[in-house]
Amino acid sequence: MARRIAAGAAYGGGGIGLVGAAAVGLLLAEAQLARRRVGNGTSPHVPTADGLYGASYTVPGEPALRLTMLGDSTAAGQGVHRAGQTPGALLASGVAAIAERPVGLSTVAVPGARSDDLDRQVSLALADPSRVPDICVIMVGANDVTHRMPATRSVRHLASAVRRLRTAGAEVVVGTCPDLGTIEPVRQPLRWMARRASRQLAAAQTIGVVEQGGRTVSLGDLLGPEFAANPRELFGPDSYHPSAEGYATAAMAVLPTVCAALGLWPEEDRPDAARREGFLPVARAAAEAASEAGTEVTAAMPTGPRGAWALLKRRRRRRVTESEPEPSTQPSP
């Protein structure tokens, strides 16, 4: 199914549905109840996290790395109260510590965004050709599922965004659609359908992103079984967006891939078989990643007997600490 969705996106296919038409009425009724319980307001609070992180690493003549966050409320950091708790801030401070260079963070992600908003966000990220981001992190897909955007259309917009960013010279890491079946207010049968739809979209996103030269990290059940075991701790007050601890868990999973894309992470000579890593046809790698949170997929051999291949890796997570941006007197990102 993921391959069919990705192929439809690439070749202009129609809207391959993620759920049967007979379930639409039930889904709509359940979704309305879930949305009322979630209480995802019209004016969400999102801390302003943009700024310079790791200013103490500044070396005269060496520019700061540039990190841009694109996507929806998860990328923006909705649900926390301090800038340092957002995923952008956590990633920026983590990269700064590992690279021992300052990192300028810019956020163009907005709550409620779907994949069709990525074209506008990419234009903002690339508005100044002299300041192209070194690395872009995209987190998107949940709103595509809840608003029943055709999966082929969703993947088409995401692949186009990755292609534009890569053409401009930016590295791209995509956190694929989270498993919406883990959200507390979502009940059966919507929970099962949401899980199926979000996993199918995540796998199709992986295929589309890898084929455009990006890397993906599976957000799955929001990156770890901790969410299912400790929902009160790892979900925010609205039971939908992650808490500060939840975003930190997500950032720990994404950070190694961001550093690898920037050449800051040691790359092993070959995959670790003990960790079930290896070279796989891209569709199979995408399916495996969608079922296991925190799994990275990146392009490998361009072709093989079964089409394009990818490298599936399960990187060890690196803890990140909360850090506030430097005052506005510092150089802008």
Residues designated catalytic: 73, 238, 241
* 3-state SS record for the chain: CHHHHHHHHHHCCCCCCCCCHHHHHHHHHHHHHHHHHHCCCCCCCCCCCCEEECHHHCECCECCEEEEEEECHHHHCCCCCCHHHCHHHHHHHHHHHHHCCCEEEEECCCCCCCHHHHHHHHHHHCCCHHHCCCEEEEECCHHHHHCCCCHHHHHHHHHHHHHHHHHHCCEEEEECCCCHHHCCCCCCCHHHHHHHHHHHHHHHHHHHHHHCCCEEECCCCCCCCHHHHCHHHHECCCCCCECHHHHHHHHHHHHHHHHHHCCCCCCCCCCCHHHCCEEEEHHHHHHHHHCCCCCEEEECCCCCCCCCEEEEECCCCCCCCCCCCCCCCCCCC
